Amino acid sequence: MMNLRLAARLSRLLEHSVLTTDVARALRSSIAFTSAWVLCLLTGHATAAVFVATTAQNIAMVDVRGDYRARLAILVFKTVVIAAAVFAGTLTGNNVYSATLMAGALALLGGCWRHLSADYGPNLAVVSALLFLIALSQPGGWHDSFLLVFWVLLGGAGAMVLQLCGWLFRPQHPLRHTVAESWVAASDLILALQCETEDGQPCTDNVSAKELALRETVDRTLAALAVAERKKHPPEFLTHLEEGAEIAARLATRVAAFYTVLEPLRELPGFARLTPTLDSTLRAFANTARSAALLTITHRPDHFISFEVRLRRCTHLMRVFEERLTALAPAHPETAAVSEMLVQIGNLLPQIRSALAETVDHGAPHQGFTLRFPELGGLSLRSLGAWVNPSLQLDAVLIRYSLRVTALTMLAVAVYLWFQIPRGYWIAFTAIVVLQPDYGSTREKAGQRILGTLAGAVLGSLLIWVKLPVALLLTLTAVMAFCFSYFVKRRYGLAIFFVTLMLVLITDAATSVNLDFTVSRLLSSLAGGVLALVAAKFFWPSWEREQFPKLIATAVRANRAYLGIVATRQAAGLPFTGPAIQRKREAERANSRAAASLQRLMGEPAGRQKDVERAAALTAYNQRITRTITVLGLHLNQREKLAHLELVEMFRLVGDALETLAGELESQTPSAPRFPLGAEPPPDPSSAPASLVAGQLTKIATEIEAMSLAAYW
């Protein structure tokens, strides 16, 4: 039994490493860090180990996407910027004034990197700042500076070679893995809809976060595919990959719409008996999506057979659930809507099979290297455009943040060098890491970083007193590097704990370290965290209370535009494609920005948390409106014109109510609650599809009334 459980866990770990980037990123990071450290020790340059190993680790752990040349350009650029930061720190470390000015310039450049790329900019800003600050404590002089830069460039080059090895041996087209991520994100969203996990534990309500992750993943995939140079390979190949990403989002959208339609039926007395069947159906869809991800990567016929079996299981479970639901509530008006959603999902399954069958066909011929790893475009501005923000309009919040972090960094560096604080560069570095554009995120990161540093420092202090063999020291450091890279995007506080241990161990190998190292680093981190909190609260703060009304009003208007395109296409009998999908994406992005603003608002001081409950209610209601409009949009696939005068009037009333509500939310002058459809129920159109549409419009009207009540001051 234990062997079976172990085999199952190993199988899940293998699937996780293939379909996600966390394990692969951690492995690259651990290998790069340890190899660079060993090289420095063997060549007698132990003092350079911190710079070389840190550079190698951060270059190796970057998850770059797109064509090969664009990936290489990004890695080279990051390495050069880090080397330049080390060079500047080594040269200016002996002068307080030049070091302070250079620190300010580097902090401003960090804001520039954040503006140019949300994917790679923040990491580049933090790493270059860290190594600049550590370099301030190194002996000055041109010779030492050039020698240190050489080692940093060597570490970055080694990490790039490690990344290249992954590109050569990973069995998929460089963009296939990106498309597979869309299927994994769809699977995660479907799993979040379950009532219970496989272990029988209640599922946490993280549907909104999974919707955001799916939207970002699909957008990132389509952006990477859009910039691929189509002249060097057949257009149908990239079209096929685009279809794979879009159909993954379509499956998740329809399953989520099915779940939304089910909500009114959950209040029925006997619905609890259907919960296991519902969860089994959702798990079947999630497993099918993950199977599609694996098939997209490997394009093997045996995986396609397994995928077909999962598709058939989905069909069977949908039929079972529909029969049981019909037996439970045959006359309930929502039962017909649920059946319609199941039909929509069932109609999509053959399309998914056809798309994945084409994947197998594309992967069948293995006649040459280029068929398996085709070159995707040259190093062009369009290629880099997917990862670089071309907008010339600067974000006011980012400008305020850049000025704030610049002033704070200059102050911390000046204090550190003027008073010659031992390892005082951690004051500035902690301030840079902790300080975020908003106060809520700053406070959260400060707590996580201080607690992680404290725990890591305490354990590191115990390890300092034990003389560890070199082999054991290297092994422990490799484990710490792996854990840090694995948890850095999952649990920041735990990642800080591991990176603290890692830095203690690598410093122990380079110099003689005692308890003073741990205490000084802990006190410096504490001082940096306090400085960041003070700066975020008092120096040109950006309070989320002032931003939220604009963001929620934008989200409401996005829903109005989404509803408008659905109404137009429904009257013309057009399917849920093209402009309708684009409006859906815009509404989901607006909802995500409003939800992120709510989270930041909840992290602000108590005096600034006025009306948090109202903001949470408005965000939740607006998300429900988006999902209900999606249910309406899926009715478009019936290709039946629904130009009833009653429906046209209902669409107009609901749209006008959304626009009025958005204006009142933005101006923060809400009026008394409105009832856009009147006190009487809407007229019942003659056809069954029109009745379903009228029912969904009534639900939207109900949510608008709830938002009106929530916004009533």
- Tell me the CA distances in angstroms from 246 to 280, 315, 589, 695, one per residue in order: 25, 21, 16, 28
377 within domain boundaries: no
Rounded CA separation 569/579 (Å): 9
As separate numbers, helices (DSSP H) first and strands (DSSP E) second, the chain gives: 26, 0
Reading the block at residue 239, the tokens are 């079209």
The verdict on 159 and 278 lying in the same domain is no
What confidence score (pLDDT) does residue 199 get?
52
What confidence score (pLDDT) does residue 605 get?
66
What confidence score (pLDDT) does residue 511 get?
58
Vertex 644: Cα angle to 578 and 556 (nearest 5): 50
pLDDT band of 624, cuts 50, 70, 90: confident
Stretch 598-625: mean pLDDT: 76
Stretch 499-520: mean pLDDT: 68
CATH number of the domain residue 348 falls in: 1.20.58
382 within domain boundaries: no
The more confident residue out of 181 and 440 is 181
What confidence score (pLDDT) does residue 295 get?
79
3-state SS, residue 216: helix
Tell me the β-bridge partners of 196.
Answer: 202
- Tell me the CA distances in angstroms from 308 to 18, 355, 559, 650, one per residue in order: 20, 12, 37, 42
pLDDT band of 153, cuts 50, 70, 90: very high
The verdict on 99 and 223 lying in the same domain is no
- H/E run at residue 375: none
pLDDT band of 574, cuts 50, 70, 90: confident
**Which tens digits make up the pLDDT trace of 128-141?**
998 999 899 887 77
The verdict on 534 and 549 lying in the same domain is no
Contact 61, 49 (CB under 8 A): no
**Which tens digits make up the pLDDT trace of 34-79?**
999 889 888 888 888 889 999 999 999 887 766 677 778 889 999 9
260 within domain boundaries: yes
- Residue among 249, 247, 241 at smallest CA distance from 224: 241
What confidence score (pLDDT) does residue 713 get?
47
Phi, psi of 202 (to 5 degrees): -60, 140
The verdict on 587 and 657 lying in the same domain is yes
**Which tens digits make up the pLDDT trace of 7-17?**
555 555 555 55
What confidence score (pLDDT) does residue 83 get?
95
- Number of other CB atoms surrounding residue 324 within 10 Å: 14
**Which tens digits make up the pLDDT trace of 188-216?**
888 888 876 555 555 655 777 788 788 88
Phi, psi of 605 (to 5 degrees): -60, 155
What confidence score (pLDDT) does residue 1 get?
46
Rounded CA separation 9/596 (Å): 34
Rounded CA separation 276/273 (Å): 7
459 within domain boundaries: yes
The verdict on 532 and 400 lying in the same domain is yes
The more confident residue out of 203 and 244 is 244
Least confident of 74-78, 85-89, 616-620: 616-620
List of residues 6+ apart from 276 with CB closer than 8 A: none
pLDDT band of 383, cuts 50, 70, 90: very low
Reading the block at residue 246, the tokens are 């879009």
Reading the block at residue 533, the tokens are 């909190």
Q: Whole-number mean pLDDT of the chain?
A: 77
pLDDT band of 99, cuts 50, 70, 90: very high
706 within domain boundaries: yes
What confidence score (pLDDT) does residue 103 get?
93
Answer with the one of 518, 538, 558 that is the final residue of a domain: 538
Count of domains in the chain?
Answer: 3
Looking at the chain, the whole-number percentage of residues with pLDDT higher than 90 is 13
The verdict on 156 and 184 lying in the same domain is no
List of residues 6+ apart from 660 with CB closer than 8 A: 674
pLDDT band of 712, cuts 50, 70, 90: low
Stretch 643-655: mean pLDDT: 79
What's the first-to-final CA gap in the chain, in angstroms?
A: 61
What confidence score (pLDDT) does residue 668 get?
76
The verdict on 482 and 607 lying in the same domain is no
The verdict on 182 and 313 lying in the same domain is yes
384 within domain boundaries: no
Reading the block at residue 52, the tokens are 């070389």
Place of tokens 């619905």: 271
Stretch 563-579: mean pLDDT: 82
- Asked whether the predicted pLDDT for residue 30 surpasses 80, the reply is yes
Stretch 313-337: mean pLDDT: 83
- Asked whether the predicted pLDDT for residue 431 surpasses 90, the reply is no
Answer with the one of 538, 553, 579 that is the final residue of a domain: 538
The more confident residue out of 166 and 487 is 487
Stretch 615-625: mean pLDDT: 85
Domain residue limits at 599? 544-711
The verdict on 515 and 577 lying in the same domain is no
The verdict on 697 and 562 lying in the same domain is yes
What per-residue string of b and e applies to 155-174 under the rule 16 or more CB within 10 Å gives b? Answer: bbbbbbebbeeeeeeeebbb
Region at 552 (left for phi over 0; alpha for psi -120 to 50; beta for the rest): alpha
- Asked whether the predicted pLDDT for residue 510 surpasses 60, the reply is no
Contact 506, 49 (CB under 8 A): yes
Rounded CA separation 394/84 (Å): 25
Contact 503, 459 (CB under 8 A): no
pLDDT band of 374, cuts 50, 70, 90: very low
CA neighbours closer than 13 Å in the CB half-sphere of residue 157? 6
Tell me the β-bridge partners of 202.
Answer: 196
- Asked whether the predicted pLDDT for residue 100 surpasses 90, the reply is yes
197 within domain boundaries: yes
- Asked whether the predicted pLDDT for residue 634 surpasses 60, the reply is yes
Reading the block at residue 63, the tokens are 């998850």
What confidence score (pLDDT) does residue 509 get?
56
**Which tens digits make up the pLDDT trace of 349-365?**
888 888 887 766 444 33
Rounded CA separation 504/458 (Å): 11
pLDDT band of 369, cuts 50, 70, 90: very low
Stretch 657-662: mean pLDDT: 88
156 within domain boundaries: yes
Least confident of 83-87, 324-328, 461-465: 461-465
Answer with the one of 365, 385, 420 that is the final residue of a domain: 365
The verdict on 420 and 513 lying in the same domain is yes
Stretch 519-548: mean pLDDT: 78
Least confident of 199-213, 340-354, 613-627: 199-213
Reading the block at residue 247, the tokens are 């159909």
The verdict on 529 and 553 lying in the same domain is no
Contact 528, 424 (CB under 8 A): no
